[in-house]
Chain A
Amino acid sequence: MSPSSRTAVAFTLVAACALACAANDFPGGSAPSATTVPDSTRVSWAAACDVALQQLDALLAARDADPAASFGDIAEARSLRSEALDLMAASDYELAFDLIVRAISVLEPSP
Chain B
Amino acid sequence: MTRPVLFLTLVTLVAALAPVPARSQTVDTANVREFIERNAELLDVAATLVQETNSTKARGSLDTARALHAQSIKLLEENRPGLAARVALRTREVIQQTIALAKREARLEEQALKAIERAAFRLEQARTAFEDAGSRDAAARRLLLEANDNLRRARQQLQQHTFEVSLNLAESSAALSLRALRLLRHDLVDAEDVQDEIERTEHVLERLADVRPALPPALVNLADRAIDLQAQARAGAVAGDVAIARERTLAARSLGLRALRVASGGETSAENVERAVAATDDILERARELTQETGDRHVAERMADASRAQDAARHSLAQSEFEVALRQTMRARAIVRDALGGSSASVDVAAVETALARTDELLGRLQNALESHDDAQARDVLRRARARQEEARHAFADGDPRRALALTKVANNLAREGLRLLGDVAF
Contact = CB atoms under 8 A, between A and B. Distances in A.
A72 interface: yes
A86 B275 CA distance: 18
B330 interface: yes
Contacts of A31: 330
Contacts of B388: 76
Contacts of A36: 345
Residue from the set A25, A71, A92 with the largest chain B CB neighbour count within 10 Å: A25
A100 to B, nearest CB: 10
A89 B333 contact: yes
Contact of B279 (A24, A33, A88, A99): A88
A32 B330 contact: yes
Main secondary structure of the interface of B (DSSP, over half): helix
A21 B272 contact: yes
Interface stretch (B47-55, B167-175, B248-256, B334-342): B334-342
Interface in A3-35: 21, 24-27, 30-35
A24 B343 contact: no
A72 B384 contact: yes
B245 to A, nearest CB: 18
A88 B267 contact: no
Contacts of B106: none
A87 to B, nearest CB: 6
Nearest to A85: B286
Contacts of B333: 32, 46, 88-89, 91
Interface in B317-333: 323, 326-327, 330-331, 333
Interface in A72-98: 72, 75-76, 79-80, 82-83, 85-92, 95, 98
Interface string A61-76: 0000000001110011
Main secondary structure of the interface of A (DSSP, over half): helix
A75 B414 contact: yes
Contact of B269 (A25, A32, A49): A25
A51 interface: yes
A82 B417 contact: no
Given A72-B380, A79-B410, A30 B330 contact: yes
Contacts of A27: 268, 323, 326-327
A54 interface: yes
Given A92-B344, A95-B406, A99-B410, A53 B337 contact: no
Nearest to A32: B334
Contacts of B410: 76, 79-80, 83, 99
Interface string B358-393: 000000000000000000010011011000100000
Output the residue of A31, A92, A98 with the most chain B CB within 10 A.
Answer: A92
Contact of B402 (A33, A82, A91, A95): A95
Interface centre among A21, A49, A79 (most CB of B within 10 A): A79
A43 B402 CA distance: 20
A75 B334 contact: no
B326 A26 contact: yes
Interface residues of A, number: 40
Nearest to A75: B417
Contact of B381 (A21, A49, A75, A88): A75
Nearest to B408: A83
B186 to A, nearest CB: 9
A89 B333 CA distance: 6
Contacts of A46: 276, 330, 333
A107 to B, nearest CB: 13
Contact of B287 (A33, A49, A89): A89
A30 B267 CA distance: 15
Given A30-B330, A36-B345, A47-B276, A79 B414 contact: yes
B343 A35 contact: yes
B221 interface: no
A70 B267 CA distance: 42
Contacts of B341: 90
A54 to B, nearest CB: 5
Nearest to B276: A50
B262 interface: no
Nearest to A98: B403
8 contacts: A21-B272, A24-B269, A27-B327, A33-B334, A54-B275, A71-B381, A76-B384, A83-B413
Given A24-B269, A46-B330, A83-B410, 8 more contacts: A26-B272, A33-B334, A47-B272, A54-B279, A75-B417, A82-B413, A89-B290, A98-B403
